[in-house]
Amino acid sequence: MNLEKEKLVEMYRKMLEIRHFEEKAFELYGQNLVPGTLHLYAGQEAVAVGVCANLRKEDYITSTHRGHGHCIAKGAQLDRIMAEILGKKRGYCKGKGGSMHIADFSVGMLGATAVVGAGIPIASGAGLSIKLRGTDQVVACFFGEGASNQGTFHEGINMAAIWALPVVFVCENNLYAMGTRQSRVMLIENVADRAVAYGIPGVTVDGNDVLAVYEATHEAVKRAREGKGPTLIECKTYRRKGHSRFDPATYRPKEEVEEWLKKDPVQRFKTKLLEMKILTETKAAKIEQDVISAVEKAAKFAIGSPYPAPEEALEDMYALEDVKK
């Protein structure tokens, strides 16, 4: 691994940003400031950051209902993400999308879809667009293990495979699709095994180890940029909280939760960076303090932002550009 020191520190910072952002979102929810629901990314930070650290600004990602982490990792601004979650006008989608539908096209974040598995064909389509336009961009497509039981997983990955599209399919296997444990709905242990069916590489990595995710993605992105087609990467991970805001996650055995909390990706990466002498405790504390104040600032921005005017509900239906004569 040939990662620059600065890059490693930046990855650590991004992971912390996601963790603190999610904690803040959870807190604001408790204060009745977040309408609807929240699917927190906390616990899965190593996946979004490990993948996106391989991407350029012009590369694309597609995301899911559990998508805040993807937005942050791809470079979207904390304040506008938080404003969207709060339903505010200054949110990325002017309050029309909310937590489950954030997009920031200016950084290649093509949006989160809350229909499980629906982003897979869209990612393949972005890959086809890249191929037809002849650029060397790539697409990273995030989805959960639950999505791998959807027809779109089969159709979308197969189409990307036969056309050798530059897409990296990233399955975040957090063991549970809502309350349904993986073993109840598939007879294989590794979703990556399904790659065989499409004739593409499938790799399973420790999704709580950001460097393992980085390395696997590095290979896959290289392959994609060289026109060799897609890869399916499965990242084994775990969410710290329930499926959504009100889910106490009683379906998860206590021992299992404790086991996974010990493998916390943020703490693990910090320990690793301390061992590598890239971080010191003082420096780590300084970074964390910076992150906390950035998240505070984002929350203040979001809380202080106005709601959209009710009649804005009627806007943004159609692109107004007239038919070119």
Partner 1 sequence: MRQITYRDALHEALREEMLRDKTVFVLGEDIGRYWHGAFKVTKGLAEEFGDERVRDTPISESTIIGVAAGAAITGMKPIAEIMFGDLSALAMDQIANQVAKLRYMFGGQTKVPVVIRMPFGAGVNIAAHHSQSLEAWFMHVPGLKIAMPSTPYDAKGLLKTAIREDNPVMFFEHKLLYPIEGPVPEEDYTIPLGVADVKMEGEDVTIVATLYMVHKALAAAKTLSKEGIDVEIIDPRTLVPLDKQAIVNSVKKTGRIVIVTEDCKTAGVSAEIAAMVAEEALDYLDAPIKRVAEPDTPIPFSPPLEQFVIPNEKSIIKAVKEIVY
Q: Which residues of the chain form contacts with partner 1 (CB under 8 A)?
A: 60, 62, 91-97, 101, 103-105, 110-111, 113, 115, 118, 120-133, 151-152, 155-156, 158-159, 162-163, 315-319, 321, 323-325
Catalytic residue among 239, 240, 252, 268: 239
Q: What is the dihedral of CA 212, 215, 221, 226, to 10 degrees?
A: -150
Q: What is the dihedral of CA 262, 149, 231, 167, to 10 degrees?
A: -110
30 versus 151: smaller Cβ distance to partner 1: 151
Distance CA 212, CA 276 (A): 16
| Amino acid identity at 77 | Q
Distance CA 240, CA 38 (A): 13
User: Scanning the structure block, which residue is given the tokens 């379906």?
Assistant: 251
* β partners of residue 144: 172
CA contacts within 13 A on the Cβ side of 69: 31
89 versus 228: smaller Cβ distance to partner 1: 89
251 versus 307: smaller Cβ distance to partner 1: 307
In the complex, least distance from residue 188 CB atom to partner 1, rounded to whole angstroms: 22
Pairing of strands 60-63, 176-177: unpaired
In the complex, least distance from residue 111 CB atom to partner 1, rounded to whole angstroms: 5
> Is 101 labeled as catalytic in the residue annotation?
no
In the complex, least distance from residue 195 CB atom to partner 1, rounded to whole angstroms: 17
In the complex, least distance from residue 236 CB atom to partner 1, rounded to whole angstroms: 27
> Is 184 labeled as catalytic in the residue annotation?
no
8 versus 100: smaller Cβ distance to partner 1: 100
In the complex, least distance from residue 77 CB atom to partner 1, rounded to whole angstroms: 14
275 versus 321: smaller Cβ distance to partner 1: 321
Distance CA 266, CA 268 (A): 5
> Is 307 labeled as catalytic in the residue annotation?
no
Catalytic residue among 66, 90, 194, 243: 243
Pure H helices in the chain: 5-30, 45-52, 68-74, 78-85, 119-133, 151-162, 182-185, 210-225, 254-262, 265-275, 281-304
Tokens representing residue 250 in the block: 């009683």
Catalytic residue among 56, 181, 251, 307: 251
Helix (H, G, I), strand (E, B) or coil at 141: strand
The catalytic residues are 239, 243, 251
